[in-house]
Amino acid sequence: MAPKKPLVIVTRKLPASVETRLMELFDTRLNTTDEPMSTKQLIEAVQTADVLVPTVTDRIDREVLAQAGPKLKLLANFGAGVDHIDLKTARARGLLVTNTPGVLTSDTADLTMALILAVPRRMSEGERLLRNGDWKGWSPTLLMGHRVFGKRLGIIGMGRIGSAVARRARAFGVSIHYHNRRRVDSDLEAELEATYWESLDQMLARMDIISINCPRTPATYHLLNARRLALLQPTAYIVNTSRGEVIDETALAKALEAKLIGGAGLDVYENEPSVDPALLGLENCVLLPHMSSSTHEARTEMGEKVIINIKTHVDGHKPPDRVLESMF
């Protein structure tokens, strides 16, 4: 008699190939509506599942985990970031947490570089001008922005994605600077010709462009607050493809509206899917709907990692992408 398959509950709709493989391997419940689960639904899921596959839209907090059933052993997160999961409570309840690192790096770095180019060159303003039927033809002074070549890029968080952004930016003649919790390896620093700043404040005051690529942790919550935003030059630009909570969104909107900084390119927001109405009305802000990893390749590879983590766990081995041990 074949062993009973573990019950795997998936909270959002995933690529068809990933869902098909999950159905083949496990007793899988899919979310065919793709609507985010309510707290009540998440509690019902953790009470019955052997494995939960959550995403960034699911708040797996203490309230949810406190009601987890005895069968639940693994939270196989579909995504690299795990700030939506209460890791301390998960550890206290003996739950294993995995994620999908590495496969998002190139796509997130590509979109970050796109924003680094789009914001100084006012591309979204030009696109709106054209679509609205307001373009009257070429003009010597139309939508003048700033060139990227020769500018200084300050990267906050020189991990996989930050390093990938740096490599792309160097090809555009940008000077690389960075602030990180720890200084990176000297070989990487030499490859990128990167300047390390121990003081974030000092780096912010001297950069032309800031790219936020650090994870969301208690230490990085509102890392760029009103005081730090005031340190930026009036011609500086901010790009964020990390987590919205790293920036004080209200303070950023005020700084942009007052033209205290040159502009911003955002793919993430503090209270997703809500966006501060003040940002929506600003011309000097490029806004994207959290799409940095939205490629067929990345989402499929994310699903493959989820499957490997679940299968390895079910087979009695340690999943390759455990995150719990490294977070404390």
Residues labelled as active-site residues: 243, 272, 290
HSE-up (13 A, CA, CB side) for residue 192:
26
C-alpha 320/C-alpha 326 separation (Å) is 13
CB 237 within 8 A of CB 264: yes
Task: Calculate Rg over the CA atoms of the chain.
Answer: 22
C-alpha 46/C-alpha 220 separation (Å) is 29
Edge-to-edge order in the sheet of strand 7-10: 27-29, 7-10, 51-53, 74-76, 96-98
111: amino acid identity, one letter: L
Residue 157, CA distances (Å) to 34, 160, 178, 181 in order: 32, 9, 7, 8
- By 3-state DSSP, what share of the chain in percent is helix, strand and coil, each rounded to 5? 35, 15, 50
CB 154 within 8 A of CB 210: yes
Q: What is the 3-class SS of 173-206, one letter each residue?
A: CCEEEEECCCCCCHHHHHHHCCEECCCHHHHHCC
